[in-house]
Amino acid sequence: MDYKYNDSVAVVTGGSSGIGLATVRVLLREGAKVALCARTEGRLMDVASVLKRDFGEDRVLARALSVLEPEAVHSFAAEVKATFGRCDLLVNNAGQGRVSTFADTTDEDWKAEYELKLFSQIHPLRAFLPMLKEAQGAVVAVNSLLALQPEPHMVCTASARAGVQNLLKSLSKEVAPDVRVNSILIGLVESGQWTRRFANREDQNQSRAEWYGNLANSKGIPLGRLGAPEEAAAAIAFLGSRAASYVTGAQLEVSGGLSRSI
Ligand code: NDP
């Protein structure tokens, strides 16, 4: 499929790892120029130098920042404008999940989780919407199936993620017809968060294949495995492209069939 990303500019938050990095790579391959951000400067710059080598120095812009710092996000937007002149696609991907039950989630945890989930959308949206409107562009948010299908061991993150879907739906109406706003709902994708949980597994003798296999079985994933970051990235690239020009306010599940709703 021709996604028509040639001559377009995309911004990917959390672009140094996992789903974000796979998205950066697919967008670059499809012809876009890409600006990416993440907090850890060393890892981000290592990733950026490989991307520049593979796709060209002038097609990649990387800045170390937290999406929770509005001034830094606004400076990043100004730099994207100065460097690339426009922004056609914003992929709001930065973040991570929180494992906690109601009993072990403190008030501070609730506030931190709501801040991360909502403001990781709000700050980049405020900064990039003017350029997106000018370009008749698109937003794709990376969210979790937990937004629709909560789990008691992730009570706080699931609740905040439901709020994000609600925000995105309203936004899709407010910024239409200039900007399309869509999201993907991830089940379990084999990336940074799961790599960290695998490293901290109870039984350190368990192999990677065994641990991931057990995880997929225990979750009852119909496709029998976790997703690859590239599989999430393909859905993001579709929703952000002109191939999805009549799709807005939608959510696409990328969960190997884990969803129970119709
Ligand atoms: P990774 O840990 O592999 O990647 C997360 C990326 O976000 C990294 O680049 C990280 O870099 C960056 N990041 C985190 N916090 C911030 C911040 N405050 N500001 C800027 N960058 C930030 O995770 P995944 O690829 O798995 O996750 C991507 C998204 O998908 C996340 O929002 C996650 O919650 C969501 N998701 C993932 C699921 C999965 O199974 N993998 C399931 C459901 C949702 P750094 O730490 O250097 O800032």
pLDDT averaged per 10 residues in sequence order, the chain, 262 residues: 88 98 98 98 98 98 98 98 98 95 97 98 98 98 97 96 98 98 97 87 91 92 95 98 97 96 88
> Within 13 Å of residue 131, how many CA atoms lie on the same side as its CB?
25
DSSP classification of residue 55: H
Residue 3 lies in a domain: no
Residue 203 lies in a domain: no
Residues whose beta carbon lies within 6 Å of some atom of ligand 1? 13-14, 16-20, 37-40, 43, 66-68, 93-97, 142, 144, 186, 188-189, 191-194
Return phi, psi of residue 242, to 5°. -65, -20
Residue 236 lies in a domain: yes
For residue 97, report the distance from its CA to the centre of ligand 1, in Å. 8
Q: What is the dihedral of CA 171, 191, 220, 101, to 10 degrees?
A: -70
Residue 51 lies in a domain: yes
Predicted confidence at residue 2, as pLDDT, reads 72
pTM metric for this prediction: 0.97
Residue 61 lies in a domain: yes
Torsion sign across C-alpha atoms 108, 114, 116, 122: negative
Task: Work out how many domains the chain is built from and give that number.
Answer: 1
Return phi, psi of residue 88, to 5°. -100, -25
For residue 16, report the distance from its CA to the centre of ligand 1, in Å. 9
CATH for 185? 3.40.50.720
Q: Sheet harboring 180-186: ordered strands across? A: 60-64, 33-38, 9-13, 89-92, 138-144, 180-186, 251-254
Q: What is the dihedral of CA 96, 3, 228, 94, to 10 degrees?
A: -10
Residue 88 lies in a domain: yes
For residue 19, report the distance from its CA to the centre of ligand 1, in Å. 8
Q: Counting atoms of ligand 1 from 1, which one is nearest the CA of 67?
A: 19
Residue 260 lies in a domain: no
Residue whose Cα lies nearest atom 21 of ligand 1: it is 38
Residue 1 lies in a domain: no
- What residues make up the domain containing 87? 9-189+227-254
